[in-house]
Amino acid sequence: MSERRPVIAANWKMHHDHLAAIRYTQELGYRLSGEEAGRLDVVLCPPFPALRSVQTTLEADRIPVLLGAQHVHWEDEGPFTGEVSPPMLAKLGVRYVIVGHSERRQLFGETDETVNRRVRAVVRHGMTPIVCVGETAEERDRGGTVERVRAQVTAAFEGVPAAAVASAVVAYEPVWAIGTGRTPTAADAQATAEAIRDAVGAFAGGNAGAGIRVQYGGSVKVGNIGEFVTRPGIDGALVGGASLDPEEFARLLRAALVG
C-alpha cells in the first residue's frame, strides 16, 4: 500500500439491526489488534438506526474503528421527511459518509448533481466523503470506463476546495462487480484508479491528485483483497458482502495488511 493512509470500509447496506450491530462491533473489537488498526482506517458503515449503538460500543470498549454512514441529505435541517442531515451525523461522531453508491444511483435517483451537493455538505461539516464511481458492464464493453469515472469524479468534487478533495476518498466500484463475485483484474483496477487520480489532480489542482485515496470495491473477499490493495494507487477497499460477518471482516483486514 502507498504512503497514503489506507482505508477499508464495511458497507453493511440494509443489514443488521442495532442489537446485531452491537454484537458485531464487540466481536470485531476482540479480533482486531491495536497494531493492525494503527496501520489503516477501519470504518464501519451501519444503517442509520444502528449508528448510535455502534458509536457508543466503539467508545465504551475503546475499539480503534471509525464510524461511517451510508448516505446523507445535503441540507442541515428542514421539511425533508425521512432524510438525515450532515450535522446529525457529525454529532454522532461519524467520520466518513458514503456518497453516490451505485445502488443509490440506480434505485433511488441519485445523480451526479445530487452527489455533488452531498459531497459539499459532508465536507462542510468536517466529515470525509467516500465518493462511489464506476462503469456499467455496457460502458465497459464499449471502452467507456475511464470516460465514465472521470465524469463522475469531476462532477462530484465541483466547487470543493483542493485541500478537501485531497483528504477525500473515492471508491472505484465497477457496477457489474458489486455483489456478483466478478471483479476486474487488479491491474485493470489499478489503471482505472490511476485515471481517477489523474482526473482529480487535473481538475482540483494543488495536491488533490496525490492526496486523494482511491479504494477498490466490488466483490472484495478475503481471498482477493491482497491483490488489490498491494497495487500502488489503490488505497484500500469498500467491502459489502464480505463485511457482514465480523470474523470474516477481521480476516479480510488481516489479509489486506499482509498483502
Q: Which residues are catalytic?
A: 101, 173
Contacts (CB under 6 A) with ligand PGA, residues 162-191: 173, 178-179
| Grid cell of 69 as nine digits | 454512514
| Cβ closest to ligand PGA, residue 73 vs residue 105 | 105
Strands 66-69 and 41-45: parallel
25: Cα within 13 Å, side-chain hemisphere? 29
Check residue 149 for interaction with ligand PGA (CB under 6 A): no
Check residue 220 for interaction with ligand PGA (CB under 6 A): yes
Residue 79 CB, shortest distance to ligand PGA, in Å, is 31
Interatomic CA distance for residues 119 and 50, integer angstroms: 22
Residue 115 CB, shortest distance to ligand PGA, in Å, is 15
Check residue 53 for interaction with ligand PGA (CB under 6 A): no
Interatomic CA distance for residues 4 and 211, integer angstroms: 7
Size of the site for ligand PGA (CB under 6 A): 13
Interatomic CA distance for residues 33 and 162, integer angstroms: 34
The CB-nearest residue to ligand PGA is: 240
| Cβ closest to ligand PGA, residue 208 vs residue 213 | 213
Please state, in angstroms and as integers, the Cα–Cα distance from residue 179 to each residue in 55, 102, 198, 242, following that order: 27, 12, 28, 10
Contacts (CB under 6 A) with ligand PGA, residues 7-36: 11
Interatomic CA distance for residues 22 and 241, integer angstroms: 18
| Grid cell of 107 as nine digits | 434505485
Check residue 240 for interaction with ligand PGA (CB under 6 A): yes
The residue ranges that bind ligand PGA (CB under 6 A) are 11, 173, 178-179, 217-220, 238-242
